[in-house]
A and B are shown apart, each in its own frame.
Chain A
């Protein structure tokens, strides 16, 4: 019995390791248990024939010949199979695909017909801008291949899909989370993802400029406050590339230690690749920059690279979805994008108020450039700046 147990133990070790890296649900439909990304990739590659995930299209005839050999079928049977199971038999010929059939026996079709009839009965009928924008964005990246074969994404590479949500403050906005979706390769570093996330708070300029409107802002916050960190599964990954960066996670770790939390570790963002991470799919993590601008980061999917994906290494991290935000226009002319925000302004209809550059100067300054009245002005960066 003892011998069996120890022999089983060694075998079990490998199996257990393999088992714990197979993603399974921790909470049904919400997120999985934590697993190591590179191990997951390795498990898939072990189980699959490389021909299944390579980028070349396999020759149909060669496939047929091989299958016939494996199943020991004659040529006629093979030919018969090929004819019967061809996909042409699935469709019924030339049909107009943009018309929903009347009186269908399928519930889905009836549902769609009802919704479309309702939509047609509405007066305004233009497609939502979000959808148009999203479709265009997706089409940009599909199937792109690089000129230089060096830059080809290797076969069997892991692609992660990451959702970055924006900080939203108001309760009323809880069902509307602006987010962007990126795809990253397993071999890329976390710092590359950080560079690809564009948040409008990076462009903010701090300072009150009512007396000196012409002073061009010399710095934007992105250049000033370069520190950032990611938080995955109990580890803080700090950005330490620049000398100005400080490990802003240090204070959190120390606070946690004193308050009876499990200890957190810290590591460097630019030295960790996604392959090294242990993550849960579907579980919210954190990206923090500018000291207090916090974004929730969710990894929604991890899979092997596919022939139809974008195969150019230079394009990763790839943006596949970005929520198009409303641009706030000037409250005077409603034509130009607003650049200035004024508060405590007697000349403005409301507090705070947005102005474009022209309207701001014409209203608040006279010909010599003197300030008229009392107000406070701040440069404003529009959230839709990345559209």
Chain B
């Protein structure tokens, strides 16, 4: 007897649909990551990425019509998240293009619609207005085209809710790289607040003068405020703003005018290079399951690794090349110049696992440094656990003592 799951919709040739959610998210983030790197919001830049990754093939295969609908619904619902805040403007544009692409290449007939929740409608309208103001006409055109083709369901929530209390709620993790940088300083100190602070300060001074011993003069004994508070605040804020802009100009070469025009488009692209280095590279679980241990891993997630896999993993850890895990080095590095004019930098490197030191063999490494010209020449092990390498040029540290 074949039992179906509570939804009644999830059994069948494709198995449980939940597995697809993770895979879909990974694919969408790949697409959006590439789109983010183009630093533009033009549809013409989106199309080649779409075609290179062969996204229409998402829907290929011998799929029963009923399951095709469910899959299309799932794909559209997953893509819809990228169209809303807290993602940056560029990612939201990418999300819109993605929805457009999925809607038109889906193989369900009649086409599955995109669900818009009532609570998100304001955001969508604001998004359209921003795009129109920034003269991103292709964005507006595509959004209007979707609306006029009646490709939306105006619903209460972005997906159907069935009180699935048994399943662990899937934590909707916002991809950090796509997140908009919070405009906290700007929000805190706006022109209005500055004006108000100034008013309050003047009022306060007047009150103080009124009650002081010498009428009309501030009594020095009870004078606790800074006179130039407002102007100082203002100048600090301007400085911060300038620094931000400079940083963004340095990291991101502008690809063309009009692409990063007004407001939203401009300041959002910097986070990419800094955080990308520390991103973990995912284990590749591709292929048609030739490795039996890998296949087992996929099917039954809870089963512990086999002895073979564990040995392999530990061996590779101990001997051989550095695994690509996020590393950061702690402690102050020592810098000294040797006879050949090279600067030596010594420090200890620790992995994220805490305390486990790498002891790899000599390897060539190349690190491109933000400020431009530093190239790491040689990395070799020395004595205990200190890495030592030589390089030429200027090097900057940032706050976490990571090589910039």
Contacts and interface: CB of A to CB of B under 8 A. Distances in A.
A85 B145 contact: yes
Residues of A contacting B: mostly: mixed
Nearest to A53: B154
Given A67-B144, A90-B104, A108 B23 contact: yes
Nearest to B142: A85
A282 interface: yes
Interface in B77-118: 100-101, 104-105, 107, 110, 113, 115, 117-118
A303 B156 contact: yes
Nearest to B62: A98
B50 A90 contact: yes
Given A127-B13, A163-B162, A135 B65 contact: yes
Interface in A267-282: 281-282
Given A111-B19, A175-B6, A30 B165 contact: yes
Contacts of B43: 84-85
Contacts of B9: 134, 321
B288 A114 contact: yes
B61 A100 contact: yes
Given A32-B157, A142-B110, A306-B153, A131 B12 contact: yes
Given A22-B118, A85-B142, A90-B101, A97 B59 contact: yes
A101 B145 contact: no
Given A47-B121, A90-B104, A112 B156 contact: no
Contacts of B105: 90-91
A364 interface: no
Interface string A280-317: 01111000000000000010111110111000000000
Contacts of B140: 67, 71
A111 B50 contact: no
A2 B115 CA distance: 43
B255 interface: no
A165 to B, nearest CB: 8
A44 B43 CA distance: 30
A30 to B, nearest CB: 6
A175 B5 contact: yes
Contacts of B55: 106
Contact of A92 (B3, B56, B115): B56
Nearest to B113: A306
B60 A302 contact: no
B398 interface: no
Nearest to A73: B137
A128 B156 contact: no
B179 to A, nearest CB: 19
B8 A106 contact: no
Contacts of B107: 97
A109 B58 CA distance: 6
A114 to B, nearest CB: 6
Contacts of B280: none
B163 A22 contact: no
Contact of B64 (A44, A100, A113, A127): A127
A105 B49 CA distance: 12
Contact of A176 (B3, B50, B66, B153): B3
B390 to A, nearest CB: 38
Contacts of B1: 326
Interface in A30-74: 30-32, 35, 40, 43-44, 47-48, 51-53, 57-58, 60, 63, 67, 70-71, 73
Contacts of B15: 115
Contacts of B67: 131
Contact of A130 (B8, B117, B144, B148): B8
A108 B24 contact: yes
A134 B7 CA distance: 12
Given A108-B58, A135-B66, A282 B163 contact: yes
Contact of B156 (A23, A105, A132): A23
Contacts of B119: 22-24
B169 A308 contact: no
B112 to A, nearest CB: 10
A34 to B, nearest CB: 12
Nearest to A280: B161
A159 B348 CA distance: 64
Nearest to B15: A115
A4 interface: no
Contacts of A161: 160
A106 B27 contact: yes
Interface string A234-249: 0000000000000000
Contacts of A98: 60-62
Contacts of B381: none
Contacts of B23: 106-108, 110-111
Contacts of A281: 156-157, 161
A138 B69 contact: yes
Interface centre among A35, A71, A106, A161 (most CB of B within 10 A): A106
A81 interface: yes
A70 B53 CA distance: 35
Given A53-B154, A134-B9, 7 more contacts: A87-B104, A92-B56, A99-B60, A106-B58, A117-B288, A132-B64, A176-B5
13 contacts: A32-B157, A44-B121, A67-B140, A85-B43, A110-B23, A112-B14, A143-B110, A179-B8, A281-B161, A301-B155, A301-B156, A306-B153, A307-B150
Interface of B: 1-6, 8-9, 11-15, 19-20, 22-24, 26-27, 30, 43-44, 47, 50-51, 53-62, 64-67, 69, 100-101, 104-105, 107, 110, 113, 115, 117-119, 121, 132, 137-138, 140-142, 144-145, 147-148, 150, 152-157, 160-166, 169-170, 172, 286-289, 298
